[in-house]
Each structure stands twice: as structure tokens, then as C-alpha cells.
Amino acid sequence: MKQLLFIIFFLACINVNAQQVQHPYAARINRILKQLPAGNQQQLDSCMMQISALGTAGLAEMALMLRAPAKGDNTRLQFALSGYAAYVSAASREDMRKTAMLAWAKALKLTTQPENKIFLIDQLLLFGDKSVVPLLKPYLLQPHYCDPAVRVLKHIAGSEALIAMEAALEKAQGPCEISLIKALGDLRYLAAEGAIIKRAKSENPVLRRTALFALANITGGDTAPVLEAAAEKVGYGYDITGATAAYLLFVANLGHQWPTTPAMTAASNLLRRCQGDSLEYVRIAALKIVADILDYDATNTLMIASDSKDHEYSAAALALAVKIMNAANAESWIQKAERVDGSKKAAIIRMLADSKQRAAIFLFSKALKDKDSLVRMAAINAAGQLQSIEMFSPLLVAMKTTDTTTAKAIGEVLLTIRSSEVPGHIAVAMQHAPPFVQIILLQLLAQKQAVGQERLIRSLLNSPDPTVVQAAKSTLAAIGL
């Protein structure tokens, strides 16, 4: 029994000694982990400095302490590592960042658990620079790790990262190939255009879609015929590869390059070819491209588009007009509004109001008398949007000769206008208004607490209409008189 106990004790000592040899920083690391999460910034800084004091070997050991997901809780350790990764990312901590990258490189080579390896790669997003590109190259062709590795290289960017991803693309397959194509497209790496064009003809719809959108972002010289052919093949409609959307993105990106003629030609061709309700969204997208290219000179194009019988297309033209509105363009739209009627006129009034064009106040005032109720309502709402004192008199005059519905709408707008002059205008106007209008105006004075209009409110107590008298009494009570 004594011999057995001695053997057990001896083996335990050997095991403890081995652990001390293999994990010389374990005790210090555990002390640090017990202090996290920190209660304030001072404690956090203290913990981060203690982690930094571990050096490359200690940091690597800390990373290697991550356990397999099913064999322990890594929450506190991951919190410490990710916190340190963020801490060393500051520009003033260059030396600490270099040490961290060396430690991460060592830990990545020794870590065998995929989840932990991915976690460590992800942290390089916070502090990695071009020096980690060689470290990540092998992972670009490994399905488990290519996506996080690509994310890091995409964030780093620069020629080293781009060249590494382009080289990996030649051998990549499956998800790695897709991740690399997307990243190179997002980074607009022109040198990869040829390799990506080859993938744009793939039978794999996911790969083809990724390649088409990457080419649209790169916007290279050889891309136009490829994307146009792909969109034309699907009739400029929807398909699983997004060919039409990719072509529209390409043309839009092309519009930001000089000269803009190729983009204008492509957009104009889309407007001409894409007829029918099912292609309405394509025409709208093409019109937006034209408007973006022409900028303030797009007014004539948008005016023509606004005359379309296609309601959505016409509405889109007016919405685009708001974005390029100036005094000259506003005058052109005002003149157009005078030539049209009905819903077209109402739509233009709404557009001018949305763009806060005070030059259109005369048009709005005149439209208050329009025979079309849509036009009248558009003018009333425009007055509310502009908050213009100049519209008080036209609104109140229109109120006296209109129907109950329109009168109530005018009342709601008057209520929203923030001006000390409103109660006075209302009190004067209600003296010679029809009874139903007087009631509406009295309610407005009550809501605006128009104490200064007591005399004119009391004058309506002599009205022959009992409902007006009651409304006047209610108004006086509401304002405490």
C-alpha cells in the first residue's frame, strides 16, 4: 500500500511539474481573467496592461487555453482576448499590436479546434495589418477558414492582400471561390476582372451571381458586354443569378466614371428596350441613372417621364426631381403645372411642396380654387408644408366658398402653422364666414388658446345660428374666459 501511494504521489508530482513547464503563465492569466469584466475604464486599462506584460509567449498561451466548445466555457477568455484585440488596435499602441500579431501567429499554428481558430482569425479584423497576410494565405483555400480569412484581408486591403486573394482564386473552389470573388469585387480589384469573367459563365447559379455582381463593382473595360448579354438573356427580368440587377449596378457605377457617355447610352437603351409593367422597376432604375448623370440638367428628361401613363414611373420621375430642385428648375415645373390638370397637376404641386419651393406659393394659392378636389387638397397640404404666412388669406378665402370636407382640411393645416399671426387672421375671417366654417374656426381658436381674440369671439354670441353661439361659448370656456 505504501509503495502504491508513493507511485501515485510521484506521478502526480511529475504531472504538476509538466503542467508548470507547459503552462508557465497559467496562474497569471487566471488572475487576470478573474478581474474581468472590469467595472470601470481604470480597471480595464489595468487588465489590458497585465495582458500586455505576458509578452508574445504569454499571449499565445492565453489563446491556446481556449477549449473545445463541448469541453468548457470560453466566455471569459474570449472576452479577454477580444477586448485586448480591440485595445491594441489604437494607433498609439503599435508595439503592443506587433506583439499581439506574433502571438496570434503562434497560436493559430498550434490551435487544432476549428471554432477557436476561426475566433482567433476574426480578432485580426481589429488589429491585423499587411504583416499577417502571409499567415492567412494558407487558410484562403480551406473551406472552414477561408471566409474569416477573406474578411480580414478585405479589411486590410492594400496590394499584398489583393495579390494574395487573386492568387488563391486560381485554385479556390466552392465557398472559398465565392468568398474570394465577392471580396475582390467589393474592393474593385481590376486585375481580377479576367478571372472573374470566366466564373460569370459558370453553370453554378450562386457562383455566376457572385461573379456578375463582382464585375459590376469592378466596372472594368471588358465587363460591359458580359453583363449586358447576361441581362438580355433573361429578358431584363428577374432570375436567380440577378443578371439584370448586376447590369443596372454596373451602369450606375459606370455613370461615376468619365466620360459619362457610355453610361448614358446604356441607360437610354434600357429605357427604350424595357417596356411593359413587368419591367417597370428596370425603367425606374435606368431613369435614376440618367438623372444622377445629368444632375441639375435632368429636368427636361424628368418632365417627359412624369407624363408617362405608368403611375409608378411618373411618380419616380417626380421623386427624382425633388433631389435636383433649384430656382430655375422650380420655375420650369411651375409652368408645366399650369399646362396640365387633374392628378398630374396635383402630383407636381406635391413635388414642389416636398422640395420646399416658396416660388410656387402663387401656384398653390391659385390651385385652392381649382375645380379638381385632388388639386385643391394638394395645394392645402402644400401650404402646411411651407408654413407660409402668405398662404393665410388664400386659405381663409377658399374656406368660405368650399365644401365641409375641404374646409376641415384647411382648418387642420391652419392648426399646424406656427405663427403668432394665425389667431388674428382666423378671428377676422370668421366674422363673415358661413356658420359651419365659423364653427371650425372657433375650434381652432380654442386649440390655439387665442385669449387675445376674446372680443371677436364674443361677437359671435349674437349669431342667429344656435350652433355657432354654442361653439363661441365653448371656445371662451376653453381659453378660460
Residue 444 lies in a domain: yes
The mean pLDDT value for 264-286 works out to 94
C-alpha closest to that of 102 among 122, 124, 75: 124
The reported pTM is: 0.83
Q: Is residue 126 part of a domain?
A: no
Tell me what the mean pLDDT of segment 381-405 comes to. 90
**pLDDT grade for 419, boundaries at 50, 70 and 90:** confident
Residue 116 located in a structural domain? no
Q: Which domain holds residue 431?
A: 420-480
Q: What is the pLDDT of residue 22?
A: 53
Q: What is the pLDDT of residue 226?
A: 97
Across the range 402-421, mean pLDDT stands at 89
CB-based contacts of 385: which residues, under 8 Å, 6+ apart? 353, 354, 356
Tell me, yes or no, whether 115 lies in a domain. Answer: no
Q: What is the pLDDT of residues 132-153, one digit of tens each?
A: 999 999 999 999 999 999 999 9
**Is residue 475 assigned to a domain?**
yes
Burial 439-459 (b: 16+ CB within 10 A, else e): bbbbbbbbebebeebeebbee
The verdict on whether omega for the bond into residue 69 sits within 30 degrees of 0, i.e. cis, is: no
The whole-angstrom distance between residue 5's C-alpha and the CA centroid of its chain comes to: 70
Q: What is the mean pLDDT of the chain?
A: 92
What's the number of domains the chain is made of?
1
Specify the pLDDT at position 81. Answer: 96
What tens digit of pLDDT does each residue of 9-51 get? 444 444 444 344 457 889 999 999 999 888 899 999 999 999 9
Confidence of residue 401 (pLDDT cuts 50, 70, 90): confident
In percent, the amount of the chain with pLDDT more than 90 equals 84
Q: How do residues 432-464 score in pLDDT, each as one tens digit?
A: 899 999 999 999 999 999 888 999 999 999 999
Given pLDDT bands bounded at 50, 70 and 90, which one contains residue 52?
Answer: very high
Helix residue spans in 68-113 (DSSP H): 75-87, 94-110
Q: Decide if pLDDT at 86 tops 60.
A: yes
- The number of residues making up the chain comes to 481
Q: Residue 4: is its pLDDT beyond 80?
A: no
Q: Is 443 domain-assigned?
A: yes
Residue 113 counted as domain residue:
no
Residues 6 or more apart whose CB falls under 8 angstroms from that of 296 comprise 324, 326, 329
Does the residue 436 lie in any domain? yes
Tell me what pLDDT residue 21 has.
41
- Give the max Cα distance, the chain: 122
pLDDT tens, residue by residue, 212-229:
999 999 999 999 999 999
Q: What share of residues in the chain are helix, strand, coil (percent, to 5)? A: 80, 0, 20
Q: Are 171 and 162 in contact (CB under 8 A)?
A: no
Which cell numbers hold the place of 188?
A: 474593385
